[in-house]
Amino acid sequence: MLELVKFEIWFNQTEKNTKTGNDYSQKVQSRNFYKYFYGEFAMAVKDNRIIWKEKSNLFLLNTIENFLTKYEIKTVRQYQKELGDHPKEAPSLWFINDTFGSWDKLQLELGKKPYDRYRWDRLPDQELFNLVEDFIVENDIKSYRQYEKLKVNSDLPSISTLKKRFLNLDIFFKAKREKENARSDFELLSALRDEIIRLKLESSLSRTAFEKSFNRNNVPAPQVLMRRMNKTWEQLLKEIGFDYREVKLDKLSKNLKNQN
């Protein structure tokens, strides 16, 4: 290979410096030799490309699984994008469909749950509305483009899906803010306290437990309240009469006793 590179450099230099007469004839002869030599060399080089159809299904599944994990791929679109950037690391979608039947069938072969593209159709309008609206408010989203950008890696419907269901998407960007702005901080804090008591979380004051169970019709998400009032979760709890620090210290003491 090194000799080929040296010859190519010499040939290019000869071509650059040659203009007329015998030198031109020499250049043509050199070109013919170069083509012959390079062609013979290229034929002698082993083709290291992977021929996927010669591989076993076990090898293919293992390769694809590693590719999905490496680039955190969850959808066909993500697979196509990463395959475009790394074409030698995994087989094409055409090959996958030809070998396994479809992308969804491949997911089943890998022991994964196929992406349910119709799941949003089964969700009632109000539930879907609340889900998207909370996400928009919590992330202070002001445009469709920002929504699509931030929803990556989140289990949320696309803008096109929402348009089919609700037609006018402006309602997502206005309704909840208007509702929250109509309530005073005092009213929101009172609602937060009532919801903590309803969920019987006074002893733990766990934000994680609260977010899993709270009723969005009663009170906004903690992140919304924290952003609006510019306070931490602990500070919000203090405002409504709960001592989060004392709860944490009590929990820490119990853990130390259990260890001893």
Domain residues of the chain, as ranges?
2-44, 52-109, 120-180, 183-259
Q: Which one, of 153, 157, 154, 160, lies nearest residue 129 by Cα?
A: 157
User: Higher confidence at residue 27 or residue 200?
Assistant: 200
Q: Name the DSSP class of 114.
A: P
pLDDT in tens, 47-95: 445 788 888 889 999 999 999 888 888 788 889 889 999 999 999 999 9
Distance CA 111, CA 157 (A): 24
Distance CA 77, CA 152 (A): 12
Alpha-carbon torsion 46, 50, 56, 58, what sign? positive
C-alpha separations of 102 from 50, 79, 114 in Å: 21, 13, 11
Q: Name the DSSP class of 119.
A: G
User: What pLDDT score was predicted for residue 17?
Assistant: 54
User: Higher confidence at residue 243 or residue 44?
Assistant: 243
Instruction: Check: CB of residue 222 under 8 Å from CB of residue 236.
Output: yes
Taking the whole predicted model, whether its pTM rises above 0.85 is answered as no
Q: Name the DSSP class of 220.
A: -
As a whole number, mean pLDDT of residues 116-126 equals 75
Instruction: Check: CB of residue 177 under 8 Å from CB of residue 142.
Output: no
User: Higher confidence at residue 137 or residue 8?
Assistant: 137
For residue 244, is pLDDT > 50? Answer: yes
pLDDT in tens, 193-230: 999 999 999 988 899 899 988 887 788 889 889 988 99
Give the number of residues written for the chain: 260
